[in-house]
């Protein structure tokens, strides 16, 4: 009889080498760790979930979420008549993964800025790609020329960037889109909180796919729905790599209700994004007054460089407030080199949550 250890050896080496995403995050009364909408979900979605008919559970959803496509295009002000298509997925990371699988062969390069969304190098290795990380500039912008010079099959940009929360300049995005050799994958997961969006560039580029999510500003992280828009001929290829039935019937109904509603749907999302932006700017100011040096944010979270990040996060957790700590961030960036590459990432929510967090932060950092 063959041992289980021998069977493990049959697994792809790239998969065996991947870390398992930790699910051991502690439960805290105030959780500011995942950048979701801390005001909750839109009333339109809650109503649909409450009133869903039995067949929403007993029958398969649409194969490729076609009922969502036109609503998504209306939301981003694009049109199928202009050759723009939609691909949906189980969260935007599913769209990112499927795009890598669709266009990257084993051994091809994927280039991205560092630091960025932590799943990108993991998904790259899972798909057999060679990940190439280029540090952000000291201004926390994309080093566009070095990104292009990497001559990669796939280029990934995150705007605003995670975990830094910083915007990417239009000049950098346009340079990469115009000059990259292969596919450009632009992640706009936090765009509702940003000063500008770049999704309209898909009308001008044959190589650009823009990924977004309903997990952040839309408050639907538990339903796991993301999407990508780009030239129809590209989104159809990504759909083939994605596979069928990736969005549940309940999730599809909820997202459609939000996109097709006004006061309790899209307008609710936009109003709460405005609240998040106001509290974000207030938080940055308050942190600065408390002696910290937060990085200017264009998202619904704030990066706070500090050499004590891990210790502070642990102490805050013990007092019921959960924030993310980062270590090993690029030392090529001066603001991070000064802290040895360590920082806190703090999600933004209602101000009473922020007050609780600030009080605990002051207590543990004294």
**CATH number of the domain within which 312 lies:** 3.90.1150.10
Q: What's the domain count of the chain?
A: 2
178 pLDDT more than 70: yes
Based on the fold, state whether residues 251 and 286 are members of the same structural domain. Answer: no
Q: How much of the chain exceeds pLDDT 90, in percent? A: 90
Mean pLDDT of 56-74: 93
Where residue 21 falls among pLDDT bands split at 50, 70, 90?
Answer: confident
Based on the fold, state whether residues 188 and 288 are members of the same structural domain. Answer: no
2 pLDDT more than 60: no
Based on the fold, state whether residues 247 and 287 are members of the same structural domain. Answer: no
**pLDDT reported for residue 3:** 60
Full domain range(s) for residue 325: 23-40+264-365
5 pLDDT more than 70: no
Taking the CA atoms of residue 213, residue 214, residue 220 and residue 223 in that order, the dihedral angle to the nearest 10 degrees is: -70
4 pLDDT more than 60: no
Q: Are strands 109-114 and 130-135 parallel, antiparallel or unpaired?
A: parallel
Query: Which is higher by pLDDT, 99 or 57?
Result: 99
Tell me the whole-structure pTM to 2 decimals.
Answer: 0.94
186 pLDDT more than 80: yes
CA distance 309 to 318: 14
**pLDDT reported for residue 206:** 94
24 pLDDT more than 70: no
List the beta bridge partners of residue 239: none
Q: Is residue 306 part of a domain?
A: yes
């Amino acid at each position: 009889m063959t041992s289980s250890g021998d069977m493990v050896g049959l697994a792809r080496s790239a998969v065996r080498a991947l870390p398992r995403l930790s699910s051991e995050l502690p439960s805290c009364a105030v959780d500011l760790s995942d950048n979701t909408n801390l005001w909750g979900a839109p009333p339109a979605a809650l109503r649909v979930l409450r009133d869903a008919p039995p067949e929403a559970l007993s029958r398969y959803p649409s194969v490729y979420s076609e009922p969502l496509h036109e609503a998504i295009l209306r939301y981003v002000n694009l049109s199928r008549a202009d050759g723009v298509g939609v691909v949906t997925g189980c969260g935007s990371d599913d769209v990112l993964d499927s795009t890598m699988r669709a266009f990257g062969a084993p051994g091809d390069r994927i280039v991205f800025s560092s630091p960025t969304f932590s799943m990108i190098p993991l998904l790259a290795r899972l798909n057999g790609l060679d990940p190439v990380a280029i540090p952000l500039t000291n201004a926390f912008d994309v080093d566009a020329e070095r990104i292009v010079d990497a001559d990669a099959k796939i280029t990934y940009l995150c705007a605003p960037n995670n975990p830094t929360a910083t915007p990417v300049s239009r000049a950098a995005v346009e340079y990469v889109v115009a000059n990259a050799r292969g596919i450009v994958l632009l992640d706009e997961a936090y765009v509702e909180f940003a000063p500008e969006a770049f999704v309209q560039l898909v009308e001008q580029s044959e190589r650009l796919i823009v990924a977004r999510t309903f997990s952040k500003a839309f408050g639907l992280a538990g339903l796991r729905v993301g999407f990508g828009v780009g030239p129809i001929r590209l989104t159809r290829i990504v759909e083939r790599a994605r596979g069928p039935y990736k969005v549940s019937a309940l999730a599809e109904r909820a997202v459609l209700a939000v996109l097709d509603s006004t006061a309790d749907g899209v307008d609710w999302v936009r109003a709460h994004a405005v609240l998040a932006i106001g509290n974000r700017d207030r938080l940055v100011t308050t942190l600065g007054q408390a002696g910290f040096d937060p990085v200017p944010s264009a998202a619904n979270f704030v990066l706070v460089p500090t050499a004590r990040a891990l210790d502070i996060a642990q102490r805050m957790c013990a007092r019921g407030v959960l924030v993310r700590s980062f270590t090993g961030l690029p030392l090529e960036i001066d603001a991070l080199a000064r802290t040895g590459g360590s920082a806190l990432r703090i999600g933004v929510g209602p101000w009473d949550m922020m007050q609780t967090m600030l009080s605990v932060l002051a207590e543990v950092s004294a």
